[in-house]
């Protein structure tokens, strides 16, 4: 059996934390309603599955460090950004009880994240990783879309907060707080990925992670893994708190009347 490394330790941390995020997202999803809540809470659920898959692939690489395993690790690292961002788009949907945000802007943001996801997967899957991974045009384009999605989410959150002003319900305030408090951690997470794609600094290079470079792994842990975990934990804590509020209103499909919390 191969030696357990620093990178494997980070993978074990994710294997410990993300099951809790997965369970929390399922709990909120169920209380929100499986059908309507799918547009909101499937994203943190999906992110948890991706992170668990990436961690398992990392541990598999201890004894089988093949090119396919490395590609799986790289893909899981990149594609997790899309559901991470879309989790916050979902929270905006839940806040916007009166549907003040027109459907098209949210649809556009969602499509941008999905297109970024597709570009990232294609870019990494077709890259030559035999001499280490270097981001190509497609992953860089994907990162550009992800950064744009982050900016749009923050702008939409600020606009929605201003629009609702003091008319917010308790559950809406909880969700606003969840987004606002996790946004700085999410920003650091995005900056880390952007530096990895757009700069030549080896501290942010995925290739350095594959080589178990301790400096790169520490930066990865502090700027990516921990920031992502903290942002999602904050979102899940406030998400659970929001749906347990007595004034929580379940989201509905187009044309249906809002449903008060009956659980």
Question: CATH number of the domain that 36 lies in?
Answer: 1.20.1070.10
Whether the CB-CB separation of 71 and 59 falls below 8 Å is answered with: no
pLDDT (0 to 100) of residue 237: 94
The domain of 69 spans: 6-250
pLDDT per residue as tens digits for the range 104-143 = 888 899 999 999 989 888 887 776 555 555 667 888 899 9
pLDDT per residue as tens digits for the range 48-62 = 999 998 888 888 877
Tell me, yes or no, whether 52 lies in a domain: yes
Tell me, yes or no, whether 133 lies in a domain: yes
pLDDT (0 to 100) of residue 240: 92
Tell me, yes or no, whether 112 lies in a domain: yes
Tell me, yes or no, whether 263 lies in a domain: no
**The total number of structural domains that make up the chain:** 1
Higher pLDDT, 209 or 256: 209
pLDDT (0 to 100) of residue 154: 94
CA distance 38 to 210: 35
3-state DSSP helix/strand/coil % of the chain, to nearest 5: 75, 0, 20
Q: Taking all residues of the chain, what is their mean pLDDT, rounded to a whole number?
A: 83
Query: Counting Cβ atoms within 10 Å, is residue 188 exposed (0-12), middle (13-18) or buried (19+)?
Result: middle
Tell me, yes or no, whether 256 lies in a domain: no
Tell me, yes or no, whether 260 lies in a domain: no
pLDDT (0 to 100) of residue 140: 87
Pick from 174-188, 189-203, 220-234: least confident: 189-203
Tell me, yes or no, whether 257 lies in a domain: no
Beta bridge partners of 250: 259
Tell me, yes or no, whether 259 lies in a domain: no
pLDDT (0 to 100) of residue 175: 93
């Amino acid at each position: 059996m191969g030696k357990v490394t620093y990178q494997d330790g980070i993978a074990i941390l994710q294997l410990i934390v993300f099951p809790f995020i997965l369970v929390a997202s399922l709990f909120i999803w169920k209380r929100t309603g499986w059908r309507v809540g799918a547009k909101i809470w499937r994203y943190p659920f999906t992110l948890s599955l991706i992170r668990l898959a990436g961690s398992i692939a990392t541990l598999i690489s201890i004894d089988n460090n093949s090119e396919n395993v490395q590609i799986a690790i790289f893909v899981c690292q990149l594609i997790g950004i899309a559901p991470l961002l879309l989790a916050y788009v979902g929270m905006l949907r839940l806040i916007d009880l009166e549907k003040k945000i027109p459907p098209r802007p949210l649809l556009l943001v969602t499509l941008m994240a999905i297109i970024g996801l597709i570009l990232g997967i294609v870019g990494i899957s077709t890259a030559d990783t035999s001499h280490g991974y270097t981001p190509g045009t497609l992953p860089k384009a994907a990162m550009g879309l992800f950064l744009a999605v982050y900016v749009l989410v923050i702008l939409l959150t600020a606009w929605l907060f201003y629009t609702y002003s003091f008319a917010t319900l308790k559950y809406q305030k909880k969700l606003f707080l969840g987004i606002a408090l996790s946004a700085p951690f999410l920003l650091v997470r995005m900056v880390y990925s952007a530096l990895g794609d757009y700069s030549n600094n080896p501290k942010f290079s995925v290739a350095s992670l594959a080589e178990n470079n301790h400096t790169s792994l520490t930066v990865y842990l502090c700027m990516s893994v921990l920031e992502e975990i903290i942002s999602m934990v904050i979102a899940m804590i406030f998400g659970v708190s929001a749906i347990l509020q007595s004034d929580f209103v379940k989201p509905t499909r187009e044309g249906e009347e809002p449903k008060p919390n009956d659980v």
